[in-house]
């Protein structure tokens, strides 16, 4: 087995050579995770706002459930999506199992409760600050939710970033519903798991470095944006 | 300052009957009855903790009383009436948006077209004298500018009643003057002004009628001149003399 320095050198060589396989895996990972986060935000952000301004029976129970779902193990989500999409499952006719779409669905289910729960916390704080103004302007719940979502936009960017972090780093769910098929559903995390088990540590480490770099870059960009927004008192 | 006799304003705009509010064992508002008429500017006075701000919030519909009623020209207050009320708080609540966007936000319920909204926003900017800062973040304005913006935001909704909860507390004299000018301008357009203050000078400058509240109850409703020259209770005398009222 090669030493750390040798493996690290190999990993850098793979990264800088622009290996087609590597690029394909990275692009598919980004495509799946970004799609999942966008869809998760599309559902999770309004859901978080609805939990703040909505008045309906069972609201507290729903909050508890969403909070609990934040910590759901990815393999459980993967199993549920697998059962739903398998030929004997309710959505088997769609023939989505072992496709990138199935991976997006699984990651979206992972991300949505996290986005909804974190958004609710941010929006709740903002609502406390704004509630007198909203009440004095006699606004509807819909108008209040829209205003909260817009005014918390920079905080919600951090929330979506947390969702992206959960999606891009997860391996269990995409492994189950995607099957880790070469050139079709192989993403960074599943490749790292596979290549490590095969002993091909160079590729695994290259993907690990890319994964960490992506995470740092996205975090830095969002932090920069938030800090500019804070300077302008918009965050 | 024009002295408006309360008796000369015959139309009761707001009629408050048997209004009470308690939190736990503590009675905050205790069986308040009063009539608030169009035209005159009403100041709600009283020592700290007397229930002035809560009374204002009840009038605005921000809080619900335990018992009692508030009638708007003889009718129960509904959402249409609530749109005729605007309130400005001691600490202005400004959205994380530009000055112009804060004004525009208040028009969400006004049912106006884009052109009319732009006109109202321009009117608000002019009223608050913030034209040059229209695109600046509202929360970076000075305290006085923020309060002017909050006032203009309330006024461009064309309210019939403007409720102000200590609008000039902790402002410098120049800002107080600017805010008072906006309040005066609103009054001259026929908007009923009801405000809370601790500044007796401001009472002289801005008010026609005094509601004096002590321990959640209105102990006196009279003209400013009458109240300042011969207050009707020992508590009011002590308050005016600057003595501590518990």
* pLDDT (tens place) for every residue of chain A, 235 residues total: 668 888 889 899 989 998 898 999 999 999 999 999 999 999 999 999 999 999 899 999 999 999 999 988 999 999 999 999 999 999 999 999 999 999 999 999 999 999 999 999 999 999 999 999 999 998 999 999 999 999 999 999 999 999 999 999 999 999 999 999 999 999 999 999 999 999 889 999 999 999 999 989 988 888 888 888 887 777 6
CA–CA min distance B80, chain A (Å):
9
Beta bridge partners of B17: B69
* Inter-chain residue contact B105 with A147, CB threshold 8 Å: yes
Identify the residue among B96, B99, B120 best suited for mutation to test binding to A, counting A beta carbons within 10 A and taking the highest. Answer: B96
Beta bridge partners of B88: B164
pLDDT at B198 over 50: yes
Question: What would the pLDDT profile of B135-163 be if each residue is shown by its tens digit?
Answer: 999 999 999 999 999 999 999 999 999 99
Who has greater pLDDT, B19 or B233? Answer: B19
Name which of B83, B95, B137 is nearest A138 (Cβ-Cβ): B83
Q: Which residues of B touch A (CB under 8 A)?
A: 60-62, 79, 82-83, 85-87, 89, 93, 95-97, 105-106, 108-109, 137-140, 154, 157
Residue of B nearest to A151 (CA): B96
pLDDT at B10 over 70: no
Q: For position A1, what pLDDT does the model report?
A: 61
Alpha-carbon separation of residue A109 from A80, A87, A97, B68, B217 (angstroms): 10, 20, 15, 50, 56
* Residue of A97, A222, A63 whose CA lies nearest to A153: A222
**From edge to edge, which strands make up the β-sheet containing B26-37?**
B26-37, B12-23, B67-72, B75-76
**Confidence category of residue B8, pLDDT binned at 50, 70, 90:** very low
Chain A residues with CB under 8 Å of B89 CB are: 132-133
CA-CA distance, A61 to A124, in Å (whole number)?
17
CA–CA min distance B221, chain A (Å):
26
* Inter-chain residue contact A136 with B83, CB threshold 8 Å: no
Chain A residues with CB under 8 Å of B93 CB are: 129-130, 132-133
Name which of A137, A150, A233 is nearest B109 (Cβ-Cβ): A137
How many CB pairs below 8 A link A and B?
Answer: 51
Count of other CB atoms within 10 angstroms of residue B118: 14
User: Would you say the ipTM is above 0.90?
Assistant: no
Q: For position A221, what pLDDT does the model report?
A: 87
Q: Is the dihedral of CA B241, B54, A147, A114 positive or negative?
A: positive
* Residue of A182, A52, A192, A172 whose CA lies nearest to A106: A172
Residue of B nearest to A143 (CA): B108
Name which of B93, B140, B157 is nearest A129 (Cβ-Cβ): B93
Chain B residues with CB under 8 Å of A150 CB are: 97
- DSSP string covering B117-142, please? HHHHHHHHHHHHT-GGGTTSBGGGS-
* All structural domains of chain A with their residue ranges: 20-234
* Residue of B115, B95, B132, B45 whose CA lies nearest to A137: B95
Kind of pairing between the strands at B192-196 and B12-23:
unpaired
pTM listed for this prediction: 0.86
* Inter-chain residue contact B82 with A138, CB threshold 8 Å: yes
* Residue of A60, A35, A42, A23 whose CA lies nearest to A191: A23
CA-CA distance, B158 to B162, in Å (whole number)?
9
Q: For position B5, what pLDDT does the model report?
A: 40
Which CATH architecture describes the domain A20-234?
Answer: Orthogonal Bundle (1.10)
Q: Which residues of A touch B (CB under 8 A)?
A: 129-130, 132-133, 135-139, 143, 147, 150-151, 232-235
Evaluate whether B107 touches B157 at the Cβ level (below 8 Å): yes
* Residue of B35, B54, B3 whose CA lies nearest to B215: B54
């Amino acid at each position: 087995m090669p030493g750390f320095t040798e493996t690290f050198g190999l990993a850098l060589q793979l990264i800088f050579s622009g290996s087609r396989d590597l690029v394909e895996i990275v692009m598919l990972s980004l495509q799946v995770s970004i799609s999942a986060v966008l869809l998760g935000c599309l559902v999770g952000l309004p859901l978080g706002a609805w939990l703040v301004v909505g008045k309906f029976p069972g609201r507290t129970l729903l909050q508890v459930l969403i909070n609990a779902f934040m910590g759901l193990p990815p393999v459980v989500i993967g199993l549920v999506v697998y059962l739903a999409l398998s030929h004997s499952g309710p959505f088997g006719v769609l023939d989505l199992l072992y496709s990138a779409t199935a991976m997006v669905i699984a990651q979206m289910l992972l991300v949505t409760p996290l986005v909804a729960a974190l958004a609710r916390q941010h929006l709740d704080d903002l609502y406390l600050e704004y509630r007198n103004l909203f009440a004095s302007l006699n606004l509807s719940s819909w108008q209040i939710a829209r205003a909260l979502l817009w005014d918390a936009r920079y905080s919600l960017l951090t929330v979506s970033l947390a969702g992206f972090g959960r999606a891009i780093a997860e391996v269990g769910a995409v492994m189950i519903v995607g099957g880790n098929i070469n050139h079709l559903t192989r993403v960074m995390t599943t490749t790292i798991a596979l290549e490590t088990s095969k002993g091909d540590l160079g590729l695994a480490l290259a993907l690990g470095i890319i994964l960490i770099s992506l995470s740092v870059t996205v975090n830095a960009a969002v932090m920069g944006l938030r800090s500019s927004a804070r300077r302008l008192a918009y965050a | 300052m024009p002295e408006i006799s309360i008796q000369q304003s015959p139309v009761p705009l707001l009629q408050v009957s048997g209004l009470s509010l308690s939190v736990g064992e503590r009675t905050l508002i205790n069986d308040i009855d009063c009539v608030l008429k169009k035209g005159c500017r009403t100041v709600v006075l009283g020592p700290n903790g007397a229930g002035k701000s809560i009374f204002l919030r009840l009038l605005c519909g921000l809080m619900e009383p335990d018992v009692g009623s508030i009638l708007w020209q003889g009718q129960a207050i509904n959402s249409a009436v609530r749109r005729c009320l605007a309130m400005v708080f001691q600490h202005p609540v400004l959205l994380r948006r530009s000055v112009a966007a804060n004004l525009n936000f208040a028009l969400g319920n006004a049912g106006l077209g884009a052109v009319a909204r732009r006109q109202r926003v321009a009117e608000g900017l002019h009223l608050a004298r913030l034209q040059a800062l229209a695109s600046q973040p509202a929360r970076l304005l000075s305290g006085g500018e923020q309060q002017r913006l909050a006032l203009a935001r309330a006024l461009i909704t064309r309210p019939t009643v403007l409720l102000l909860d200590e609008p000039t507390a902790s402002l410098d004299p120049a800002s107080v003057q600017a805010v008072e000018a906006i309040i005066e301008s609103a009054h001259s357009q026929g908007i009923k002004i009801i405000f809370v203050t601790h500044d007796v000078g401001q009472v002289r400058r801005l008010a026609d009628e005094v509601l004096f509240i002590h321990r959640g109850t209105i102990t006196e409703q009279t003209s400013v001149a009458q109240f300042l020259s011969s207050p009707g209770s020992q508590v009011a005398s002590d308050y005016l003399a600057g003595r501590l009222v518990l």
